Amino acid sequence: MRFTYISPSVAHMRGFSAAETTAQTLADTYTPASLHIIKKVLSEELAIETPEHKELPRSRTLELEQLCKDGSTICTETKLSFLRDYNGQAIGILGVTRDITERKRMEEQLKHSELLASLGKLTAGIAHEVNNPLGSILLYSELMIKSNQPGQMKKDLRVIHDEAKRAAKVMTDLLTYSLGGDIKVEFTELHRILNKVLDMRLYSETVQNIHVSTYLCDSPLYVQGDKA
């Protein structure tokens, strides 16, 4: 399992010269996972090297990761076949390799795009099903808030309305993100957001006997972000 000839083009692919590569072992050339694939395939091929099953012109094409001189790795596609003597006996292995790193990167980008597209369709369906009942909650809670309700009841209804509105916004943001939309970044006042969140959580915290104390600075505190 030693190299007997290496094309000078390896210097362009891996950074090693042909002479340096020829002196390397397979473990110096391939990542552990790729080395495992090579050993497995070689074992399979040797197992069928019998006179009654031998298919002389056969070959195997493998995707393997190779180690570069600068410490990086490249994805390669190697077509392997046996070198044979006049009697058809395997005496070596011929490998023709090409760099497919860019192709693999493009494939990953395509997979990511397809995943986002699928996620967008799924999210659109979920958003439709969830937003319908949320719309009813928002509508009726708003009508009840405007009606003649006791002070505490109106405050509780406001919490219900705000929580439903927040849930609807979350669904909208999820749909926007999955379809590749942009986040709206603007100057946002943190105290206002914090107080709103605390008001929304007041009922839950009261039921669980949780008391929240806040100590905020006197002046407004602004950051850049999506206030939703």
- Give pLDDT tens digits along the chain (228 positions): 889 999 999 999 999 999 999 999 999 999 999 999 999 999 998 888 876 666 778 899 999 999 999 999 999 999 999 998 888 888 899 999 999 999 999 988 888 888 877 877 787 778 778 877 888 888 888 888 888 888 888 888 888 888 888 888 888 777 676 655 556 778 888 888 888 778 767 766 777 788 888 888 888 888 887 766
Does domain 10-99 match CATH 3.30.450.20?
Answer: yes
Q: What is the pLDDT of residue 51?
A: 66
The reported pLDDT for the residue numbered 165 is 87
Q: How far apart are the two ends of the chain, measured CA to CA in Å?
A: 61
Beta bridge mates, 61: 79
134: exposed, middle or buried (Cβ count in 10 Å: 0-12, 13-18, 19+): buried
For residue 36, the model assigns a pLDDT of: 95
Least Cα distance to 75 among 17, 14, 3 occurs for: 14
Sheet holding 90-99, edge to edge: 60-67, 73-84, 90-99
Scored b (16 or more CB within 10 A) or e, 16-46 reads beeeebeebeeeebbeeebbeebeeeeeebe
The whole-number pLDDT of residue 33 equals: 95
Distance CA 182, CA 195 (A): 26
Nearest to 29 by CA among 75, 72, 68, 80: 68
Residues 96, 98: Cα–Cα separation, whole Å: 7
The predicted model scores a pTM of 0.52
Write down the pLDDT at residue 225: 78
CA angle 223, 185, 180 (to 5 degrees): 145
